[in-house]
Structure 1
Amino acid sequence: MEGYDLVVIFSFFAFPAFSKKYGHLTADGTYQLTAAWQTGLTNGTCIGEMIGLALTGIFADKYGQRWTIIGALALVTCFIFITFFSPNVHVLLVGQILCGIPWGVFQTITPSYAAEVVPMELRPYLTCYVNLCWVMGQIIGSGVLRALVDRTDEWGYRIPYALQWVWPIPLAVAMFLAPESPWWLVRQGRVDDAERSVNRLMTRQGQKAFDSQKAVAAIMHTNEMEKQVTSGTSYADCFKGIELRRTEICCMVWMIQILCGGGIMAFSSYFFERAGLNTSYSFDLSMAQYGLGAIGVFIAWALIPWVGRRTLFLAGQILMMILLLIIGFIGVGPKSQPSSWAVGALLLVYVFVYDITVGPLTYAFVSEIPSTRLRQKTMVLARNAYLIANIVNNVLTPHMLNPTAWHWGPKTGLFWAGICFLTIIWAYYRLPEPKGRTCAELDDLFERRVPARKFASTVASPFDDGRRNGSVVSALRRQEERKAQAP
């Protein structure tokens, strides 16, 4: 849903009917929304998302992930009315801020839930799938806009907003029928409910009851182990001891989605138009961009087991920096039709690389790196860091591209290539490899302060010291005693 709406609002800046309604007439005879209002609309969404993120950390811990998502879906159904009926750009801004609140909920709660309901082997696939969901929303949004680009009446921009009402009810029904996270249930002391949830998530074969007890006992052990290292579950605890390093990693990984130049993709239609292509071709290339993005996620799924998260992430950053440099140097030369198409083609390649590497892998990192007790709050902080970077991007990029402001055009690539280089240095020294590690093993490696470059080669021993020895067995015994005492 968020991927759909964001591509709609960003692409509307190159949409004739929208620009005529909310923009003003420029000297060249076209309608343009000013760079200030472009910044306002995009950052208004970010402000709403930051509010939603803060609420997520509170409500998800108290009510669980399922009911928090259902509540957010109810809110977004109401807030869409404001954007649909907005008579001017001021009301539209209010609608974008309010819609951002439930979108903020969706941003972190979905990868967190995905990481908690699947086995370790499937964890990177389902968390990376979140990026594919973004791409699917973007493809639908671009397709709708491409179909309506020639409409000059108000329905050219109202129909895309109205289509958002299609999603909430089916998604709410699906979430109501889904099992609750067994990790959340254990933290609430609802061990029996956690076993029932695990039974729903497991295949219907073998000794199901014993397996669920063992799985819940392992969850209980990890929860107790993390209690010994981190006493609380507040936002402040995310910045204490070893949790500070985990918070830093998650914040930086999510910010790199923007800092590697990924923010240009949100303005792709407008970028193509500023590079010299006409409006129809701009939307055609945007659809091709998101189609390549979907293919990229499937390629990432194939590469993750062989290459690993860290190596693939670093390789993607390096390739994207090179592509941004080439785009920027093309922009230095005179503008022509061949150079415009070259910029468009290179940006498509850039998106393809992004959606094989940095795009999907971010969701794997931010859901795997935090401790289980602080996962939701760490992800909220990390996503807020992303939104801060996005706000900066939303201020800079419209000014870089807008002909009434800095008018850099493709030269914008040089700026983001420099920032991308700095993120490569950080990732090399600070980004660990979580491949094949259970939550308890990751806790052990972080507690021992293993350097990021040695994560993959270090043997984790979460059960070795006397403080932890036999804790899974003890947890199983406590479950059996509790059941024996039950009426």
Structure 2
Amino acid sequence: MKNGIDTQPQAAHEIEAKPSFEKGHIEHEDHTDLKSKVADYKMDAIEAENAEHSMTVMEAARAYPMACFWAFVMSFTIIMESYDVFLMGNFLALPAFANRFGVLDTATNEFVVVTKWQSALQMSGQLGALIGVFLAGPITSRIGYRWATLLGLALMNATIFVTFFADSLPVFFVGQLLEGLPWGIFIANAPAYCSEIVPLRLRAPATQILQMFWAVGSIIVGAVTFVYNGRLDESAYKIPIALQWMFPTPLMILMFLAPESPWWLVRKERYGEAARSIERLGRKSRLNSGETVAMMRRVVELEKSATAPNYVELFKGSDLRRTLIVCGIYAAQNLAGNLIANQAVYFFKQAGMAQNTAFALGLITSALQMIFVMLSWILTTYFGRRPIYLWGTAFNVVMLVALGIAASVGTSNAASNAQASFGLIASVMFTFAAAPISWCIIAETSAIRLRPLTTGIGRATYYIIEIPCIFLGSFMLNPTGGNLGGKCGYVWGGTALATLITAYFCLPEMKGRSYREIDIMFRRRIPARQFEKTVIGAEEDE
């Protein structure tokens, strides 16, 4: 043993020698028999869990370098949704797109896309993704994260054709809706897969990287539309659409080579394959795959049910509380000013910035978001999930209210600059604290057995909240609608305050906790503010 880690890896055939459950047998055994079976490999499970607890972040990264790489690859799928979400937002401010599909605004003598189509185009992809996330859970539970992601990437390649050849707003709507189907698979699977292939200390950075790739997608869009915003022909929007094809095929090749989640394999009782997957994710000299599989089995067997995972289970017993937390965190992403970031360029134009300045500020905002996501990795190393989320959201409440005040004092250049500044700060700080930590909370909160379903329904909640928020946001900013400009800060500041109060009472602290410990605390119904103080012994299973 070295630093609590056995340096002699256990062969895969030894895993199979461990006492195992036959499919369906668990429903005929009483609780005493279950505890006896778990005890057969409990010591190995304790060794593996203690090893993960004893690691530092850097030790975990050195022990599991390929896990970090494959988490990086899976996270790359998020770029595709981010790219398209920001692309539609930027198209609304693109002269060539507005001239082709808009109407003349007599007040400004410029063409604008009418409010209902602004909202429809921005919510069409989310509507498709809403369908996609409900499909993702059952598909992933049956065929695994790897094949489900490959299916999504193949579908993405095909659906881009519809948007590329669209010559009317209704066809754009249909194209975006179809593209949303694979987005739902990616966004449901990515946080779950990333959290399952890495050890405890790497769960936060491995899931927070999703927010970084969201920012990368917006940077690419910002750069492309900044280059083409001066063109007045259809290439100004056709080329950015075509660039989506650069993502799926390379990712399909990589995901075909990727290992399956060992947690998913253990759930399927494929212990030998799970051990080989673990050995592919980490250095054989630094880990014991047999003990790690035993740790996973301990959690999976204690969560086991006589029925297959289904959506009804998400709303029963302790899983109801876990589902509500995941859904609440996802919903809050739309209620704390995130929509200002998604419509950054259009927001800056309505705040009084010149067209080129608005596109440049949008690009700067995206670049700063990526930088601050990376800085957030340092934050989560030293601070818990709960304080980062609460303080980050509180700061955004202040910035959003300040944005509303700046928009209420007049129409001077100083007021316009103040609005742009507060909007930029709110967008960037959202990606420094609340946004990246949300991914970590989502991945840690769900039960292992129900994870694909929980992350799917959580993301569905995101879209259900986002769709009306998009209509509201577009109405508030559009000069043919509410024309509120920066005064929308009052609205988003109010919704952000509501999420802050809810999180204070309901959000538990899960930093440094194994999945076994998290399971036990939810089953014991520990109050959210007591999670951090609760001690769970290594021998405890209930």
TM-score category (smaller protein) = over 0.9
Aligned residue identity for 2:210: V
- Return the match for 1:375 from 440, 451, 472: 451
1:195-254, Cα deviation, whole Å (9 max, x unpaired): 110111111315x6xx111101111110011126x9651011000000000000000011
User: What CA distance in whole angstroms lies between the structure 2 residues aligned with 1:94 and 1:48?
Assistant: 9
Aligned residue identity for 1:227: K
Q: Is the 8 A contact 1:444 1:462 kept in 2?
A: no
User: What CA distance in whole angstroms lies between the structure 2 residues aligned with 1:431 and 1:102?
Assistant: 30
Q: Point out the more displaced range, 355-364 or 237-246.
A: 355-364
Give structure 1 regions of 4+ aligned residues with deviation exceeding 4 angstroms: none
User: What CA distance in whole angstroms lies between the structure 2 residues aligned with 1:311 and 1:235?
Assistant: 31
Secondary structure of 1:14 counterpart: coil
Matched, 1:395 2:471: yes
User: What CA distance in whole angstroms lies between the structure 1 residues aligned with 2:373 and 2:105?
Assistant: 40
Cα displacement (A) at 1:456: 0.8
Q: What is the TM-score normalised by the length of structure 2?
A: 0.84
Aligned residue identity for 1:215: T
- What residue in structure 2 maps to residue 133 of structure 1? 213
- Return the match for 1:11 from 66, 76, 90: 90
- Return the match for 2:528 from 452, 472, 486: 452
Secondary structure of 2:474 counterpart: helix
User: What CA distance in whole angstroms lies between the structure 2 residues aligned with 1:432 and 1:453?
Assistant: 6
- What residue in structure 2 maps to residue 107 of structure 1? 187
- What residue in structure 1 maps to residue 8 of structure 2? none
User: What CA distance in whole angstroms lies between the structure 1 residues aligned with 2:538 and 2:330?
Assistant: 28
- What residue in structure 2 maps to residue 473 of structure 1? none
Matched, 1:30 2:110: yes
Secondary structure of 2:206 counterpart: helix
Secondary structure of 2:198 counterpart: coil
1:290-309, Cα deviation, whole Å (9 max, x unpaired): 11101111111001121111
User: What CA distance in whole angstroms lies between the structure 2 residues aligned with 1:85 and 1:31?
Assistant: 22
Secondary structure of 2:260 counterpart: coil
Secondary structure of 2:284 counterpart: coil
Q: Is the 8 A contact 2:163 2:171 kept in 1?
A: yes
Matched, 1:289 2:369: no
- What residue in structure 1 maps to residue 439 of structure 2? 363
- What residue in structure 1 maps to residue 257 of structure 2? 177
In structure 2, stretches of 5+ residues that fail to align are: 1-79
- What residue in structure 2 maps to residue 480 of structure 1? none
- What residue in structure 2 maps to residue 148 of structure 1? 228
Secondary structure of 1:213 counterpart: helix
- What residue in structure 2 maps to residue 68 of structure 1? 148
- Return the match for 2:127 from 44, 47, 55: 47
Secondary structure of 1:205 counterpart: helix
Matched, 1:116 2:196: yes
User: What CA distance in whole angstroms lies between the structure 2 residues aligned with 1:381 and 1:463?
Assistant: 33
1:3-55, Cα deviation, whole Å (9 max, x unpaired): 11111101111110011111112213211101100111112111100111111
User: What CA distance in whole angstroms lies between the structure 2 residues aligned with 1:139 and 1:353?
Assistant: 16
- What residue in structure 1 maps to residue 331 of structure 2? 255
Q: Point out the more displaced range, 96-105 or 39-48.
A: 39-48
Aligned residue identity for 2:348: F
- What residue in structure 1 maps to residue 165 of structure 2? 85
Cα displacement (A) at 1:462: 6.2
- What residue in structure 2 maps to residue 94 of structure 1? 174
Aligned residue identity for 2:471: V
User: What CA distance in whole angstroms lies between the structure 1 residues aligned with 2:537 and 2:335?
Assistant: 36
User: What CA distance in whole angstroms lies between the structure 2 residues aligned with 1:356 and 1:139?
Assistant: 16
- Return the match for 2:298 from 199, 204, 221: 221
Distance 1:255 1:131, change over 3 A: same
Q: CA RMSD in A?
A: 1.2
Q: Is the 8 A contact 1:112 1:367 kept in 2?
A: yes
User: What CA distance in whole angstroms lies between the structure 1 residues aligned with 2:538 and 2:365?
Assistant: 44
Cα displacement (A) at 1:334: 1.3
Q: Point out the more displaced range, 252-261 or 152-161.
A: 252-261
Aligned residue identity for 2:266: V
User: What CA distance in whole angstroms lies between the structure 1 residues aligned with 2:197 and 2:392?
Assistant: 28
Aligned residue identity for 1:109: N
Q: Is the 8 A contact 2:323 2:454 kept in 1?
A: yes
- What residue in structure 2 maps to residue 440 of structure 1? 516
User: What CA distance in whole angstroms lies between the structure 1 residues aligned with 2:538 and 2:387?
Assistant: 25
Secondary structure of 2:92 counterpart: helix
User: What CA distance in whole angstroms lies between the structure 2 residues aligned with 1:105 and 1:335?
Assistant: 44
In structure 1, stretches of 5+ residues that fail to align are: 469-487
Q: Is the 8 A contact 1:444 1:461 kept in 2?
A: no
User: What CA distance in whole angstroms lies between the structure 2 residues aligned with 1:336 and 1:5?
Assistant: 34
- What residue in structure 2 maps to residue 416 of structure 1? 492
Aligned residues: 462
Aligned residue identity for 1:324: L
